[in-house]
Chains A and B, each alone.
Chain A
Amino acid sequence: MEPYGAPQAKFPSPRELAEGKPGAFDAFGDAILQRSAAMPMTIWLKSVFQYRVLGRVDTDKVVSGRGDWLFYKEQFWGAACQAPDFFREPIAQLDALTEMAEAGGLPMVVSVSPDKASTYPEALSPEYRKYWDCKLANSDLWRRIALVEAPSLVDHRTAVLEAKAASPETKMFFYTDTHWSPLGAANAFRQLLRSWRPAGMVNSAILKVDGKSARDTDMANNMLLLGGQEEIEGVDDRIADLAQDTSNVVVLHDSFYRIIAKQLQETFPNYVDLSFPYKKDELGRNIAMADRLIVNSVERSFFNRLNSRKGGQALHSAGPLGQAVLARNATASKQCRDFGALDEPSSDTGITIPIPIGSAEMTSCLRIQLKDWNRDGVKLFLPDRGHAESPSHHSVTFMPAGSNTLTMVLPQRVKGRSVRLEVPEGVEIVSVALGERLQPSR
């Protein structure tokens, strides 16, 4: 790995050079230059001049904020102002997946670590507004939408802003790193725990600043090759003393939760640590056996991971994580009983299924028999959360897995309402049956 954060260009094969493959010679030249001393030395000279002399850094990855602040440009999304639908659908889909996980006996919590710009907007430089314009509006917009469409989503910006207000002299983010500080991360971790543990217990655990230490930072070292370290406050976090959980917790995360690796290890001694990009089989195996699933992503990558077209479907229900969660739900559905077929299903590619209210201690189950289902996904739409009249975005996608039968446990929320099923062209709905399952005690 090249010190400035990008993989070194590989040497093209002799065959590629001989065939004159587009870009082959450029790759050859890049490979030589990147391995020479010239490039890192020039980057260092340029960075020193820009950061330490001019105080203005503007590269393809990094831009200066006020003072010593540096910001990673990817969090700005090219200064594009996004429309509400850009956020609403993926957030609603993730919420639906969370509900299906819960219904299948797998408590799932999704948390989002804030971008630096969302936490320290006052540190953004007006000189570089062309890069970060719309960032704050986008940031606020998706959060407003999430409050309605995904009320269980844990937005770590809340906790970090509270901690920032309580200790304004203590940094919640590094100046020259993309990540939050140990104190910011520790406060976020407490917020995560409070989503299912008693707040009083979590809040009473000791958390205090514990000296300062110098650390290498990614923007200064990897991207700008400036070298040097940044001092940041350490933390003495005794959360595990009060909130330890020995159950089988799976934590899927990116580099932000690595900062709380110690707390994770101490609080969840049996936890399974998985990071993006995950291995499909390993993820599936662990989710099948998990007692709890925690998914964390930093804000700038969150929507890419949710979007089915970009980001490899990492968080989309049609992706490996989503299918593992739905498979877990399907396993739970084996306990469903008393299936009664509904009337002749519609021959359209979609069907709306009313779910009876039933008794409080039971959850509803659904079994669908299909024909010729072997390619595209089947979508299940749960009732919308906030907008009774609007089409629901709360959907999950079941991908073909060799069987024409889908059986699932539905969330409690859908009782007394309707769900909608949509199948791809060419797939026939043969039968639909509703059953029920005794709700497991928590």
Chain B
Amino acid sequence: MVFSAANFLFLFLPFAVAICLFARRGPFLAAISLVSALFYYWSSGPYIFVLIAIAAIAYFGGLQLASLPEDATQSRRSLLLLFSGLILVLLFFFKYAGFVTQNVDIAFGFSLAHLFGDVPLPIGISFFTFQGLSYLIDVYRGEVAAERKPLVLASYLMFFPQLVAGPIIRYRDAVEDFRDPKISADNFGRGITRFSHGLAKKIIIADSIAPIADAIFGLPPGQANLTTAWFGATAYALQLYFDFSGYSDMAIGLALMLGIHFRENFQRPYASCSITEFWRRWHISLSSWFRDYVYIPLGGNRAGTVSTYRNLLLVFVLTGLWHGAAWTFLVWGLYHGAFLLMERFVFKDPVRVLHTYAFRYFYAVPVLLFGWVVFRADSLPHAFSLWSAMLSPSAPGAWDISQAAMAATPLQFAAFLLGSLIFVVPGTVSLGSRLMYAPLEGSPAWWVTGYTIVALGLSGGIALTAPFSPFLYFRF
């Protein structure tokens, strides 16, 4: 069940919010856990056992770690490895075993893939396993105390706004809110506005652009020309951003309605002037997770240049694979890692040095668009054929726009333009921010209210009448 589905908007959400608000002075955490479990069961059925297993491992692991004295380093490390390993085994089994065995079979002629061929991928497993891991590591590091109340930890791990597509929230950032939710009319109002904003981004923009990207990426290999390939890459880049950031807005808004504060997950990423800057603005919860739990423990940038580059590359290989068990995601991760390395090697402080419009439009944006092609492509050969088209300005018919024009209806093209302009026209994002963060009093409140009603009404109406459209990050 996705946030933009009519079932969620008109049935589950009112029910869930009502239950939680009703229980806010009493069994609030029980209510959160119950509706969250129902939410996951609605979507994944019996695979809720995976979520419960992760929660149980994290809970008992945290208690075990806390039971050992701080100077029992070896024992604590072993426990961390044990419980983290259990979580990672579950992640590997459901997400990567099939891919690994397929490639082992190809490389060595074995026949192992059939053992994992039908293993389903529980929705959101990449998100809640990472949350479980971050909790255990934070307990190990002594940054948080182990949670003794199972309902608190269960609420944190199973909290439905971020359960299936993030953002990846840290226990230490959210635990106080779970224990003492800041439920107020102001937060509720802001939450609805934020939710409506995200819903509109998903339904009105992302879902309108999606058919363009699908049509172009669905062309047989070798059939896209230069114009079409770039149009398709741009369409997908916009679709992915508005889809994913829209979902994050909805998650943040839902949480806020229930008095829980989440950190921002996107900061206008296509305004980046370098790839380094991009990763500080895109899916911030994931990049910061890898920074804090992989990059820094490996030594970060403090163990020499070669180690720094190795650590960066490893982080991006893992980032790529986190998105999916496929060579395309691995190549995408390597691609970004390579650019990060290059920027660091050449510019030392790329965020500051490259901060000009020229670098943004002639370097960062084209590099990002190129990267999204392999991210979206069905296979590496598919990606190569599109890249080839994107780099062939002198090929016959390269600049013919009729094929690209065929991929969009007027409404879809309008959504594409709207999405593009948001990153080009100055002030559009600040307008959005003003609407989302304006005080709910005085004249701004009227604008905010009006905007919320329009966004929610329009998006809700489209959701009620449109076929199903899943969030893109739903599959990770």
Partner-B contacts on A (CB < 8 A): 19-22, 24-26, 29-30, 32-33, 38-39, 42-43, 45-46, 56, 58-60, 127-131, 133
Contacts and interface: CB of A to CB of B under 8 A. Distances in A.
Nearest to B45: A20
A25 B407 CA distance: 34
B164 to A, nearest CB: 14
B409 A58 contact: yes
B407 A46 contact: no
B465 A30 contact: no
Question: Which 7 pairs between the two chains have the least Cβ-Cβ distance?
Answer: A20-B45, A29-B7, A25-B42, A42-B464, A130-B406, A42-B461, A29-B11
B465 A22 contact: no
B409 A39 contact: no
A196 B42 CA distance: 60
A20 B461 contact: no
A130 B215 contact: yes
A43 B410 contact: no
B41 interface: yes
B342 interface: no
Contacts of A26: 1, 5, 7, 42
B358 to A, nearest CB: 35
B6 interface: yes
B461 A60 contact: no
Contacts of B407: 130
B353 interface: no
B304 interface: no
Contacts of A59: 465
Contacts of A45: 461
A38 B463 CA distance: 12
A39 B6 CA distance: 9
B11 A33 contact: yes
Given A19-B46, A42-B465, A60-B467, 8 more contacts: A20-B45, A25-B1, A26-B42, A29-B7, A30-B7, A39-B465, A45-B461, A56-B411
Interface of B: 1, 5-7, 10-12, 41-46, 48, 215, 406-411, 461-462, 464-467
A26 B466 CA distance: 14
A7 to B, nearest CB: 16
B465 A130 contact: no
B158 to A, nearest CB: 16
A127 B11 contact: no
Question: B interface, by DSSP: helix, strand, loop or mixed?
Answer: helix
B44 A20 contact: yes
B6 A29 contact: yes
A353 B467 CA distance: 54
A29 B461 contact: no
Contacts of B215: 130
A127 B409 contact: yes
Contacts, number: 65
A51 B45 CA distance: 40
Contact of B45 (A19, A29, A32, A131): A19
A59 B46 CA distance: 34
A46 B465 contact: yes
Nearest to A26: B7
Contacts of A24: 45
A19 B46 CA distance: 7
Contact of A33 (B7, B45, B409): B7
Contacts of B466: 60
A38 B45 contact: no
Contacts of B46: 19-20
A38 to B, nearest CB: 6
A20 to B, nearest CB: 3
8 contacts: A20-B41, A25-B7, A26-B5, A29-B11, A33-B6, A33-B464, A59-B465, A130-B409
A33 B10 contact: yes
A129 B45 CA distance: 41
B461 A46 contact: yes
B327 to A, nearest CB: 28
Contacts of B45: 19-22, 24
A128 B462 CA distance: 20
Task: Identify the interface centre among B5, B48, B410: most chain A CB within 10 Å of its CB.
Answer: B410
A58 B207 CA distance: 14
Contacts of A19: 45-46
Nearest to B46: A20
A128 B45 CA distance: 40
Contacts of A30: 6-7
Nearest to B44: A20
Contacts of A20: 41, 44-46, 48
A38 B408 CA distance: 30
A33 B10 CA distance: 8
Task: Identify the interface centre among B215, B409, B461: most chain A CB within 10 Å of its CB.
Answer: B409
Contacts of B408: 130
A416 B42 CA distance: 68
A46 B6 CA distance: 15
B6 A133 contact: no
A59 B467 CA distance: 9
Nearest to A59: B465
Contacts of B11: 29, 32-33
B139 to A, nearest CB: 32
A38 B1 contact: no
Nearest to A60: B467
A24 B41 CA distance: 10
Task: Identify the interface centre among B409, B465, B467: most chain A CB within 10 Å of its CB.
Answer: B465
A130 B211 CA distance: 10
